[in-house]
Amino acid sequence: MSLHNFKARDHFRHNVYPSPFHSRQKELNRLQEWSRWADYLSVPAYYSDSLEYFAARNTCGVFDLTPMIKHRITGPDALPYLNRLVTRDVTKIKPGRVGYSVWCTDRGQVIDDGTIFHLADGDYRVCSQEHQLDWFLTSALGFDVTVVDETHEVAALAVQGPTSCALLKRMGLTGVENLTPFGLAHFPFEGTELTVSRTGYTGDLGYELWIAPEHAEKLWDRLFDAGAQHGIRPLGSQALDMLRIEAGFILAGVDFLPAQQAVRPTHTRSPFELGLGWLVDFKKPVFNGRRALLQEKEEGSRYRLVKLDISGNKVARDSYVYDRKQTIAGTVTSAMWSPSAKASIALATLEMPHGEPGEELQVEIYYKRELKWSKVLAPCKVVDRVFWDPPRKRQTPPADF
């Protein structure tokens, strides 16, 4: 499909878009399977989720980020507006920097999490899993600020893995090696501007590239040409899910239910219950959910999100977690066999007071082999650190490969 037709699509008549990178993805998608992410077609796996996972851990994997919801926030009150909207202190995110944050209802329940890109004075981009335009516009009342959904105006690729910096330098992005984690910079590219941020969802060395859709195919081609000697491979969503679990990153709709989607308000979570209390800054005089979160801090939370190291090699997907008295203590939200940790690992929501590091529990795992279902109660332990956190993630400049 030509770019002209892509731009001309009517959002209200065609509810699934091909990505600006679709022509290149289609050529590499050997499995010919497609899924939907927000308004776009997405690739679950190009050829093998396991091999794609290893590419991102050992060389470089490229994931299409275009479907991520992107909002542009500009105007004289952009900073005070964001500081009112989210829980962290946005004044600490200086121009040329990126910050992770969450935003909450007045009850202190998480609506979504995302990244805030400070592009220039009074100019921000907020990226999130879910559409947030209604909430952002409602929250803008009284502020001199403009909020625009620019999802379709920005194409993006995540370039993740130990050789990612080397191939970006080979592509001609001089100085990209000087970017520190959560930094961003702008580079000239084929007559336009390419924005590069040292961010990602893999817990490894990696970058995210942002460009206008009409230059998307050229970016893909230049990237893969430069990466030919650096083990570059396309990366599907299934492999990305494995990578983010090892890194301890949460996913909306999987590890927590966005507050605006909940039918039962007791099924939502606060930042403290997701292990994100460090993102709540009570030094700010006012922000959405401040009063409720202050009360929770004083009285205690209902739940705790933890990381589990599980005995054996069975994946504890959607499992119950039991304490020593064989009472249900919580549920597993994300699980996998980790090739890097050589262990069965999981993220789980436990009822308080469970979840202190070192606590020994059990998970109830059901698995099927040759049409026969079996059950095992596997011992597990709550661990404090994530399962993948290599030094190269922070090293500046990164090692050259």
Q: What pLDDT is recorded for position 280?
A: 98
Question: Is pLDDT above 80 for 2?
Answer: no
* The domain boundary residue, chosen from 216, 246, 276: 246
Q: Are residue 232 and residue 308 in the same domain, yes or no?
A: no
Residue numbers belonging to the annotated binding site: 208
Task: Kindly report the pTM of this predicted structure.
Answer: 0.93
Structural domain including 361 reads 302-386
Cα 241 from Cα 237, distance rounded (Å): 6
Domain presence at residue 290: no
Same domain, 62 and 173: yes
Question: Is the domain of 32 the same as that of 179?
Answer: yes
Among 223, 246, 269, which residue terminates a domain?
246
pLDDT digits (tens, 9 = 90+) for 346-376: 999 999 999 999 999 999 999 999 999 999 9
Order of strands, sheet of 110-120, starting from the edge strand that comes earlier in the sequence? 97-104, 110-120, 123-128, 69-74, 146-149
CA-to-CA distance for 104 and 258, rounded, in angstroms? Answer: 9
Distance CA(77)–CA(140), nearest Å, equals: 9
| pLDDT 10s digits, 323-339 | 999 999 999 999 999 99
* Per-residue pLDDT at 206 exceeds 60: yes
What's the pLDDT at 10? 55
**Is residue 99 situated within a structural domain?**
no
pLDDT surpassing 70 at residue 253: yes
> Is residue 110 in some structural domain?
no
The CATH number covering residue 358 comes to 2.40.30.110
pLDDT digits (tens, 9 = 90+) for 172-197: 999 999 999 999 999 999 999 999 99
> Is the confidence at residue 8, as pLDDT, over 90?
no
Q: Is residue 76 part of a domain?
A: no
Please give the pLDDT value at position 400. 87
- Whole-number pLDDT of residue 204: 97
The separation between CA 396 and the C-alpha centre of its own chain, rounded to angstroms, equals 22
Q: How far apart are CA 401 and CA 392, in angstroms?
A: 12
Q: What is the DSSP string of 99-154?
A: EEEEEE-TTS-EEEEEEEEEEETTEEEEEESS--HHHHHHHTTTS--EEEE-GGG-
Instruction: At 36, list the tokens.
Output: 């939907």
- Cβ atoms of 149 and 69 within 8 Å: the answer is yes
Phi-psi region of 135 (alpha: psi -120 to 50; beta: other; left: phi over 0): alpha
CATH number at residue 51: 3.30.1360.120
State how many domains the chain has.
2
Q: Which of 229, 246, 263 is the last residue of a domain?
A: 246
Residue 13, pLDDT > 70, answer no
Quickly tell me which residue has 């942002």 as its tokens.
210
Sign of CA dihedral 4, 158, 38, 239: positive
CA 194 – CA 181 distance, rounded (Å):
18
Question: What is the predicted pLDDT for the residue at 248?
Answer: 97
Higher per-residue pLDDT: 227 or 6:
227
What is the secondary structure of 176-218 as a DSSP string? GGGPPTTBEEEEEETTEEEEEES--SSSSSEEEEEE-GGGHHH
Annotated binding-site ranges for substrate: 208
Indicate the helix (H) or strand (E) that contains 222: helix 216-226
